[in-house]
A and B are shown apart, each in its own frame.
Chain A
């Protein structure tokens, strides 16, 4: 209890709260700009925390982190471009909802879902960190590979109109991921000895190219002739409290999505970019009205945003319980503690209990701050949609380019960005869904690494089926495919019957 009070005392100091508020705003803004990521914002915060007390520094970084998981929502909903990799699935429903004249509702839904997602994940973190962390560490390459196989079946939910085109997009994504150094040994593959392809196609470059550049190009196309047209019709009201009730009225979706986020977040190496898609997929499958997904379904927005925000607390589980970072952001958090001479490991909670309790409190405070900042400034965000397109499109493109360059400081990445943007635009024009492609790029290398690792540890293929968790995941993958195919066939059959009837 003393440690708890000591932690609370440090977080509730006036200067800490002020820094956290600034951090929260900074995180939201950084994540809202396509091409700028939460990780980048946190790296920029890192040197500033050197001069602070350890807990103060971590609290500020947590506020950037939590703010960042929400900020991605803004550009996802208003521009149709995921602000961060973790808000890819948010674009599916929040953007159509905004285009249908409800941008305020789309934002409110996302903000509340993020808030509850963070809170739920923090509660899980406080209650169950040690056992969950142990499970996460015991998982070997077999379980990771099977998990990724399961995650790949999500493609079926993302295919849009045509199963075939969706699968092709997924395969293109997997193919793109094989370009460059192989993930195990760094041997060049498919680079044709060019400097351009030598480092491979970084996942974020693909994401920005595929979603942001292609989306911006099609903005120019659709309303090319009618200049000075805003992206979204006139501002509608936010219904903040009504939306809160709406989010809470769907507790199953909210809790399921948050738990997916916590679980994926707790697995080192997975993270928010997968959690939002998995949560979206599960929400769609268990929905009574799956056909509304992709047209502006509130459940889709809630699933994606609760799912990605919950990875914040999930990622802290292995870090606090074992000293193993759950994501790149957690690794930077650990670095900031290490600079202060605090070693993060299994003894952290015993040796620095006040710090750990302080982090829990800071998570809750950060999510409240995020909520207040977002609700208070939503009107301002919507102003963005009043800006005529000829200003906003070039501005966002410039941000994307700067962000893409800042990732690795490589000029060649920008050429790749341009090429991938054009390819994405081409695929989009041909009505190929882009999400499966991105999913392929994210999951391909993880699957390859773990498959190779599993077979190096034990040349026996059957181990994938004899390890129980791995077997369960593979069975889930099979069930997932069977169900998807059945539901697609059913939709096709109904469509055919209606066609016949109308003939």
Chain B
């Protein structure tokens, strides 16, 4: 009896110690709709976030995979859910591209961006071939042979956008070959069935180390710790960022207090060393952009996608 009382008192004290907002949100488990299949990049990273959120909020955060049509099936379902903060989801650059190419009506502003949590640097990756082995050689060769360089991309997807950025900035012309995921592209690159592709650390680093592939450039503002010898596109004279960012969103119409509360929890999650380490293992940098910074990022991205959309409709 005494022990039960002690526990009860302890719980009351603990509850009182929590900040006010946390008392009403979340009161129950939060469903996390990941609009991609299990085992992919989004899934791995969002499961790390969900795990951290569950520990911070003390509520279960079940991850529900709803793959299909490049994330659009899950997001269409998510858009219909109640805007009460008990269903959250995730978007990345692909949504903006799908919107501009007419695959979906939804866009980033159909939701409330809460926080950007993971950023994956993208590398321009070359196959081992006789014609070029650096960025400069690629540019020279591609200028001399327009349409000769075969670029593996997800048609009307982010890699296509990234390639189009390079094409435009350097005045080149590639011929595009469609592949659905990074693993497939890297495989085709190794087999010599394509010449260049966009790769990342988790899918291509070992092949680069082994000498089968070459990282020609990285799309981040500064050189990365994973591949410090690889020059950035900025150093090579191109003003564009090639990264994939993933962020958490809420349905439009969610009360501002709830958005703020969730943002606060995510900020704490992203400060955890465990989360940073696990995301690093999965090939992404753990970052935290709050509501405003995330919104600004998406607005800027939206403008640059709009500019290049003509190149993506093939």
Contacts and interface: CB of A to CB of B under 8 A. Distances in A.
A453 B177 contact: yes
A453 B150 CA distance: 11
Contact of A184 (B155, B192, B193): B155
Interface in A342-378: 343-347
Contacts of A332: 38-39
Contacts of A137: 187, 190-191
A339 B206 contact: no
Contact of A345 (B65, B72, B207, B282): B207
Contacts of B70: 181, 186
A51 interface: no
B69 A453 contact: no
A328 interface: yes
A143 B28 CA distance: 53
A410 B212 contact: no
B38 A43 contact: yes
A408 B156 contact: no
A185 B73 contact: no
Contacts of A449: 178, 180
Contacts, number: 112
Nearest to A351: B206
Size class of B's contact patch? 35 or more
Contact of A138 (B77, B186, B191): B191
Given A186-B98, A195-B76, A408 B191 contact: no
Main secondary structure of the interface of A (DSSP, over half): loop
Interface in A443-473: 449, 452-453, 456-457
Interface in B26-79: 38-39, 44, 64-70, 72-73, 76-77
B187 A324 contact: yes
B73 A456 contact: no
Interface in A4-18: none
B66 A335 contact: no
B240 to A, nearest CB: 23
Contacts of B206: 323, 343-347
A268 to B, nearest CB: 6
B68 A408 contact: yes
Contacts of B193: 140-141, 457
A198 B75 CA distance: 13
B9 interface: no
Nearest to B312: A185
B157 to A, nearest CB: 8
Given A43-B38, A346-B206, A183 B176 contact: no
Interface string B124-158: 00000000000000000000000000100001110
Given A345-B210, A408-B65, A140 B178 contact: no
Contacts of B69: 180-181, 186, 188, 198-199
A441 B314 CA distance: 26
Contacts of A268: 184, 187
B212 A184 contact: no
Contacts of A198: 68-69, 73, 76
Given A140-B193, A410-B66, A410-B73, A324 B188 contact: no
B183 A456 contact: no
Interface string B189-207: 0111110000000100111
Contacts of A323: 206-207
A409 B87 CA distance: 14
Contacts of A183: 180
Contact of B281 (A188, A328, A338): A338
A328 B209 contact: no
A187 interface: yes
Contacts of B64: 409
B73 A187 contact: no
A325 B176 CA distance: 24
Interface string A169-210: 000000000001101111110000001001110000000000
A452 to B, nearest CB: 7
A162 B217 CA distance: 59
B101 to A, nearest CB: 8
Given A325-B183, A338-B202, A347-B209, A408 B178 contact: no
A43 B281 contact: no
A331 B191 contact: no
A138 B192 contact: yes
Contact of B177 (A322, A338, A346, A457): A457
12 contacts: A184-B178, A186-B69, A195-B76, A324-B183, A338-B281, A345-B206, A346-B207, A409-B65, A410-B77, A456-B175, A456-B176, A457-B150
The 7 closest A-B pairs by CB, nearest first: A345-B206, A199-B68, A140-B193, A184-B178, A137-B191, A185-B155, A456-B177
Given A140-B188, A324-B190, A345-B205, 10 more contacts: A43-B39, A140-B193, A181-B69, A181-B103, A184-B180, A187-B103, A322-B190, A332-B39, A341-B281, A347-B209
